[in-house]
Amino acid sequence: MFINKKKVSVLIFLVILLTVIIVINTPSNCKSDYYCFNDHVLDCSKAKVITEKDDNTYYYEVLSKKDDNCIIKVQLNKLSNSQSNDLKKALEGKNMLCSIPSSTLEVKDIKSITNLNDYCSGQLKEAVLEVTIQKLYDVVVENIGPIAAELRNSTRI
């Protein structure tokens, strides 16, 4: 049986190239080591981590770099047990993509960015906004009577 050396060489090259591409595109799995993840965030290299903040479990993954921003996926895996079932249903499993300037990530780690939603878009952001609007609505409806009475009293001369 005759084996074509050229075809074998090309096949070996393609297998090596495919392996390199897979290794380069596979994010480092920091598991639950947030410091490992944060090191990768500083140079915006692919990495993922599962971590907790305020008894909520989050999944973070650095996806890529675009211009001078780091693109990070943020997913709320599990809400704290102290939260209501309605809130859990609204938020758990939702994610958002965040485009965060590298200059911001050099100064703060992702958990301490207080206005993180300003850099993000997606289902999680939308769900958080819906919950916030609903809570504000509930507060207004609950207090509309006393507010109206106060306005009536203040407009009387």
- 78-121: pLDDT as tens digits: 999 999 999 999 999 999 999 999 999 999 999 999 999 999 99
Structure tokens at 68: 């001078």
Domain assignment present for 4:
no
> Is residue 9 in a domain?
no
pLDDT digits (tens, 9 = 90+) for 142-155: 888 787 777 778 77
Strand-pairing partners, residue 112, are none
Number of domains the chain is built from: 1
Q: How far apart are CA 23 and CA 96, in angstroms?
A: 25
- Contact predicate 43/62, CB 8 Å: no
Q: Give the closest residue to 50 by CA, choosing from 40, 41, 64, 37.
A: 37
The residue segments making up the domain with residue 119 are 25-144
- What confidence tens digit (pLDDT) does each residue in 110-154 have? 999 999 999 999 999 999 999 999 989 888 888 887 877 777 787
Residue 40 lies in a domain: yes
Contact 48, 31 (CB under 8 A): no
Mean pLDDT, rounded, for 16-30:
82
pTM of the shown model? 0.80
